[in-house]
Amino acid sequence: MSETAGGAQVVATGNGAVAAPTTELHVDGLRVAVEGKPILDGVDLRVPVGEVHVLMGPNGSGKSTLAYSLMGHPKYQVTGGSASFDGQDLLALTPDRRAQLGLFLSFQNPIAIPGVTTVNFLRAALRAQGRELPAREFIARLGDEMSSLRMDASFRGRYINDGFSGGEKKRAEILQLAMLEPRLAILDEPDSGLDVDALRIVAEGVLRVMERSEGRMGVLLITHYYRILENLTPDRVHIMHQGKIVDSGGPELAHVIEREGYDPYITAISPAGPEVSRR
């Protein structure tokens, strides 16, 4: 038997004992508008910590809107529904409080921050979360992570994303992920614009952080393409169209999309039509 406690699921065992609650992202009927235009139309989604969930869909389906809304971007107005993580109402929290709770967002198009070096940015981010490391330990760990991502040591002194190539920006985002070790990583198209080698480095970086977390981090990966999943196998795949999740399944669903594209969803689902399901 399952019950809820503070928004998190708990399971009553046969002998009456209660198992530990499952920490998860819990989205119910989320509706979001941008400048008065509805974008999300009732999103329902569960992402348990310890799992990799992939969100796919055609352009304009609302994937990035969901990511920004979960992190509290002020441009995105929540008009209905709910979103919680670890039993806490995300919609009641400011973006910095969501980050302190353990949420992390890597941007599809990271912006440059002239004047702020990578090393100072990461130290400030850890300090803001109450996890500041001694200087020597911080530098050693940063060096290890940069080496794993094949980033030159000079990146430590470079301004965040200032003059970075597309591949360098993506690796810098994964470096932040590795150093901050969040409980829920929302990765918005970390594969866009990458060649085969850079894609493998990014995917392996995400997988390395996931394995190191020993089940304490969940991932919501937004992508258009199957190729990143050749190096990062998901637990679940979700398809978004017209502002809602219209299909969910196992890793095989990504193979279907690779083979057939999104046309079956676009042609089969009208605004008032039935949803396709391979659950």
| Angle, CA of 120, 206 and 278, to the nearest 5° | 140
8 Å CB contact between 262 and 57: yes
For the purposes of burial, counting CB atoms within 10 Å of the CB of 61, is it exposed (0-12), middle (13-18) or buried (19 or more)?
Answer: buried
**Does an H or E element contain 252, and which?**
helix 252-260
pLDDT over 90 at 13, yes or no: no
Q: Is the pLDDT of residue 275 over 60?
A: no
How do residues 81-115 score in pLDDT, each as one tens digit? 999 999 999 999 999 999 999 999 999 889 999 99
CA distance 70 to 67: 5
Question: Residue 269's pLDDT is what?
Answer: 58
- Tell me the domains of the chain and their CATH numbers: 2-109+180-268 (3.40.50.300)
Q: What are the tokens at 22? A: 């499952």
Number of H helices, E strands in the chain: 8, 14
What confidence tens digit (pLDDT) does each residue in 195-235 have?
A: 889 999 999 999 999 999 999 999 999 998 888 998 899 99
pTM of the model: 0.86
Bridge partners of residue 237, in order along the sequence: 54, 249
| DSSP reduced 3-state for 150 | coil
Residues 26-83 pLDDT 10s: 999 999 999 999 999 999 999 999 999 999 999 999 999 999 999 999 999 999 999 9
pLDDT single digits (tens) 118-164: 999 999 999 988 889 999 999 999 999 999 999 999 999 999 999 99
